[in-house]
């Protein structure tokens, strides 16, 4: 559950569906334990329980149960994530290039918080706050009777995204070290405070299991570069004028696709 989300109210439709998911997983666990027992009369040992749980995880059974049980509330979870992003227009802008990865299940949507912390590291807190305010101003300008015209917002906010993108090459000058650093940020539950471009203090806690690995971070970086690589010469000149940076993305691209 995302930070700041309300706990489902007891008796609510969502709560009932989550309870169904829990029951389905528990039933699957009991069945797995029973299948491992030679006789119903045999005492169940802690080692048997641990082995049964490992079997469920390694076989992908939990994931299969969850896929079926959560199908009914998947739309609700997507709506919750959308509501979160509506409150954070700048975060929405940063995640826009990742939309296809989210939709195809290649990267979990839960990386949103980590992306925001990474952006603060790349931009610095002062510039980040200024860009957040500009995004909020654009959202207000793009809001009509039918709500926010997000397509219009993305077009107007392109120079704001450039501020983030043009700083990626320097942020990844020491590619492997920065890749590992970004992995740590994305796989930490909450909070990191950037003291400088190279000094970050973790204020959160590591997740029980990583939600992304190096391959997924590379997919994210390629997705962030794609809107820039699609720009024509005139737009690249506009980007340089708007950001004050005239940078090459060739070195970063070479790190991402060493065999190309």
147 or 132: which carries more pLDDT confidence? 132
Reply yes or no on whether the pLDDT at 186 is more than 80. Answer: yes
Per-residue model confidence as pLDDT tens digits over 105-127: 899 888 888 898 899 999 998 99
CA–centroid distance for 211 within its chain: 9
The percent of residues above 70 in pLDDT, for the chain, comes to 66
pLDDT of residue 170: 93
For the chain, how far is it from start to end, CA to CA, in angstroms? 39
- What is the phi/psi pair of residue 174, to 5°? -100, 85
| Residues in contact with 108: Cβ distance below 8 Å, sequence separation at least 6, in sequence order | 102, 211, 212
pLDDT of residue 197: 41
Question: Residue 14 — pLDDT band, cuts 50, 70, 90?
Answer: low
Q: Which two tokens stand for residue 29?
A: 């666990």
pLDDT of residue 97: 96
Q: For residues 98 and 114, is the Cβ–Cβ distance under 8 A?
A: no
Reply yes or no on whether the pLDDT at 1 is more than 80. Answer: no
Reply yes or no on whether the pLDDT at 59 is more than 60. Answer: yes
Question: Residue 203 — pLDDT band, cuts 50, 70, 90?
Answer: very low
Q: What is the mean pLDDT of residues 10-17?
A: 60
Q: Is 0.85 topped by the overall pTM?
A: no
Per-residue model confidence as pLDDT tens digits over 156-171: 999 999 999 999 999 9
- Which range among 32-41, 143-152, 237-246 has the greatest average pLDDT? 237-246
∠ CA 205-211-110, nearest 5°, is: 85
Q: What is the mean pLDDT of residues 66-72?
A: 59
> Cα(215)–Cα(133) distance, rounded to whole angstroms?
33
């Amino acid at each position: 559950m995302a930070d700041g989300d309300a706990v489902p109210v007891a008796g609510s439709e969502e709560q009932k569906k989550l309870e169904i998911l829990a029951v389905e997983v528990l039933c699957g666990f009991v069945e797995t334990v029973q299948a491992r027992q030679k006789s119903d009369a045999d005492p169940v040992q802690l080692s048997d329980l641990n082995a049964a749980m490992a079997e469920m995880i390694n076989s992908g059974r939990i994931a299969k149960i969850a896929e079926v049980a959560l199908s009914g509330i998947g739309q609700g979870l997507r709506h919750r994530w959308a509501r979160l992003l509506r409150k954070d227009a700048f975060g929405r802008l940063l995640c826009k290039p990742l939309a296809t990865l989210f939709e195809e299940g290649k990267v979990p949507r839960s990386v949103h918080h980590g992306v925001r912390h990474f952006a603060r590291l790349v931009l610095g807190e002062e510039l980040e706050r200024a860009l957040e305010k500009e995004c909020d101003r654009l959202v207000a300008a793009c809001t009509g009777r039918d709500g926010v015209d997000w397509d219009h917002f993305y077009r107007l906010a392109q120079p704001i995204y450039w501020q983030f993108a043009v700083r990626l090459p320097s942020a990844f000058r020491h590619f492997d070290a920065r890749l590992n650093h970004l992995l740590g940020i994305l796989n930490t539950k909450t909070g990191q405070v950037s003291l400088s471009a190279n000094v970050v203090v973790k204020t959160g806690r590591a997740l029980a299991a990583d939600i992304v690995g190096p391959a997924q971070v590379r997919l994210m970086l390629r997705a962030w570069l794609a809107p820039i690589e699609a720009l024509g010469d005139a737009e690249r000149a506009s980007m340089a004028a708007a950001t004050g940076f005239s940078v090459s993305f060739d070195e970063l691209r070479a790190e991402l696709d060493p065999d190309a």
